[in-house]
């Protein structure tokens, strides 16, 4: 009987899960995730008022493997309209996808067939000893280690310098329920002003969710307000929304999400993943572009490479 190489994947977002799915039949794969569920930046909160997407609100699919993945995840296809303040024009969206129970639900079913340890934060990778240390004090050995963390977080735990030029910007996301009378011609608004990058309604993909809006501050405003109190962030968000959506309504706040590492730049690098050393690799959207599909492609590409190299 041949012994399968032991692979540790850090992070259960789209890239980590895509990588694990391509490897688990041929390698002994364990995923370690610091939070209590799958998703990472596909973060949807189910509140009494409905679903709020504090991370990616939906995604596009250009490649067949990702289209197939979305199909197998029972993703919902929808159309809608976005008003772009920069070009002062309406974008009619088509072939956009959302998880049927929130974006993180795209990964839930797949996560169930994998060995994932939740609430387990990696704090140090000792590449010489081939061992990862976790916050709990546990140390685990590996043959191959794969980080799927945003680049700055991966750099914090690896001793070898990770060679890549990706830069991340922060994002403050604020969830709001608008109750009362208002009319909104569009499902979402983008590039609103120097403070707001995006305001989108949940009605985009589900009519019952139309009063639930998420506002994303611009990178500059997010950076400036990251340490502000929740009350101040909510007041600012409320004033900004009132400039866009007119009517007689009340705003009920439904949470704030502070993403320190939200969006990366588009990469010029040729590779879809990064080699840290012979047995250490990094996947993630930042290897390609700030998109859910790019995260999938990155994880999948490393999976394919390792299968070819090691089997
Ligand atoms: C506000 C916002 C809006 C967005 N909008 C869109 C959009 O409309 N369309 C689109 O296509 N994309 C959008 N994106 C981008 C999209 O969400 C990402 O490209 C994609 O989810 C990245 O997946 P990933 O696997 O590369 O990283 P992540 O999802 O960040 O996964 C990394 C995982 O690692 C875990 N982790 C971190 N540190 C540790 C540690 N030390 N130990 C163990 N686990 C750890 C994290 O908890 C996380 O689960 C948006 C992102 C944000 C934040």
Position 21 in a domain: yes
Residues 254 and 124 reside in one and the same domain: no
Residues 135 and 272 reside in one and the same domain: yes
Place of tokens 């041949």: 2
Residues 136 and 243 reside in one and the same domain: no
Task: Please report how the helices 64-72 and 292-310 are oriented relative to each other, as an axis angle in degrees rounded to 10.
Answer: 100
Q: What is the pLDDT along the chain (311 residues), one digit of tens a residue?
A: 578 999 999 999 999 999 999 999 999 999 999 999 999 999 999 888 889 999 999 999 999 999 999 999 999 999 889 999 999 999 887 789 999 899 999 999 999 999 999 999 999 999 999 999 999 999 999 999 999 999 999 999 999 999 999 999 999 999 999 999 998 889 999 999 999 999 999 988 888 899 999 999 999 999 999 999 999 999 999 999 999 999 999 999 999 999 999 999 999 999 999 999 999 999 999 999 999 999 999 999 999 999 999 76
Residues 251 and 215 reside in one and the same domain: yes
Residues 76 and 178 reside in one and the same domain: yes
Nearest to 283 by CA among 3, 6, 20, 97: 20
Cα-Cα-Cα-Cα torsion 24, 61, 74, 90, nearest 10 degrees, comes to 150
Measured in angstroms, how far is the CA atom of residue 3 from the centroid of ligand 1?
33
Residues 15 and 120 reside in one and the same domain: yes
Q: Do strands 144-147 and 168-182 pair parallel, antiparallel, or not at all (unpaired)?
A: unpaired
Residues 93 and 198 reside in one and the same domain: yes
Position 110 in a domain: yes
Cα-Cα-Cα-Cα torsion 275, 303, 138, 164, nearest 10 degrees, comes to 30
Find the CATH number of the domain harbouring 90: 3.90.660.10
Pocket of ligand 1 (CB under 6 A): 10-16, 32-35, 40-42, 55-59, 121-122, 148-150, 153, 157, 171, 173, 216, 259, 262-263, 284-285, 290-292, 295
Find the CATH number of the domain harbouring 143: 3.50.50.60
Question: 82 and 93 in contact (C-beta within 8 Å)?
Answer: yes
Residue nearest to atom 48 of ligand 1 (CA): 40
Residues 118 and 252 reside in one and the same domain: no
Mutation to probe ligand 1, out of 9, 10, 11, 18 (largest number of atoms < 8 A from CB): 11
Position 176 in a domain: yes
Ligand 1, atom nearest to 156 Cα: 41
Position 27 in a domain: yes
Position 1 in a domain: no
Position 220 in a domain: yes
Give the count of beta carbons closer than 10 Å to the beta carbon of residue 132: 23
Residue nearest to atom 5 of ligand 1 (CA): 56
Ligand 1, atom nearest to 32 Cα: 43
Q: How many domains does the chain have?
A: 2
Position 153 in a domain: yes
**Is 50 in a helix, a strand, or coil?**
strand
pTM, two decimal places: 0.97
Measured in angstroms, how far is the CA atom of residue 130 from the centroid of ligand 1?
26
Q: In which domain, by residue range, is 292 found? A: 6-42+105-165+268-310
Residues 158 and 178 reside in one and the same domain: no
Residues 116 and 244 reside in one and the same domain: no
Ligand 1, atom nearest to 157 Cα: 41
Residues 115 and 236 reside in one and the same domain: no
Q: From CA 264, how far away is CA 57, in angstroms rounded?
A: 16
- Which of 247, 264, 281 finishes a domain? 264
Measured in angstroms, how far is the CA atom of residue 42 from the centroid of ligand 1?
6
Measured in angstroms, how far is the CA atom of residue 109 from the centroid of ligand 1?
18
Residues 27 and 175 reside in one and the same domain: no
E-only strand ranges, the chain: 6-10, 28-32, 44-47, 50-53, 59-60, 76-84, 89-98, 116-117, 122-126, 131-134, 139-141, 144-147, 168-182, 188-190, 196-201, 212-217, 247-264, 274-277, 280-282
1: Cβ contacts below 8 Å, ≥ 6 apart? none
Question: 236 and 216 in contact (C-beta within 8 Å)?
Answer: no
């Amino acid at each position: 009987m041949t012994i399968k190489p032991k692979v540790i994947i850090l992070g259960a977002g789209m890239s980590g899960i895509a990588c694990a799915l391509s490897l688990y039949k041929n390698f002994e794969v364990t995923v370690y995730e610091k939070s209590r569920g799958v998703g990472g930046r596909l973060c949807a909160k189910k509140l009494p008022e409905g679903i709020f997407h504090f991370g990616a609100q939906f995604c596009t699919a250009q490649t067949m493997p990702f289209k197939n993945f979305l199909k197998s995840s029972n993703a919902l296809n929808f159309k809608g309209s976005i008003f772009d303040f920069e070009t002062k024009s309406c974008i009619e969206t088509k072939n956009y996808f959302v998880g049927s129970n929130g974006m993180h639900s795209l990964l839930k079913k797949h996560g169930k067939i994998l060995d994932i340890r939740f609430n387990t934060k990696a704090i140090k990778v000792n590449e010489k000893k081939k061992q990862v240390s976790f916050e709990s004090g546990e140390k685990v050995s590996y043959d191959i280690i794969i980080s799927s963390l945003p680049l700055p977080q991966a750099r914090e735990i690896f001793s070898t310098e990770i060679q890549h030029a990706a830069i991340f910007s922060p994002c403050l996301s604020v969830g709001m329920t608008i109750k009362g009378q208002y009319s909104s011609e569009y499902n979402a608004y983008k590039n609103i002003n120097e403070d707001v990058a995006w305001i989108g309604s949940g009605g985009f993909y589900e009519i019952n969710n139309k009063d639930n809006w998420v506002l994303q501050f611009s990178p500059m405003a997010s950076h400036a307000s990251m340490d502000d109190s929740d009350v101040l962030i909510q007041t600012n968000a409320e004033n900004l929304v009132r400039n866009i959506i007119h009517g007689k309504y009340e705003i009920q706040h439904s949470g704030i999400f502070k993403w320190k590492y939200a969006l990366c730049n588009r990469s010029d690098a040729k590779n879809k993943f990064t080699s840290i050393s012979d047995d250490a690799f990094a996947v993630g959207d930042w290897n390609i572009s700030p998109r859910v599909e790019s995260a999938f492609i990155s994880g999948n590409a490393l999976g394919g490479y390792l299968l070819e190299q090691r089997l």
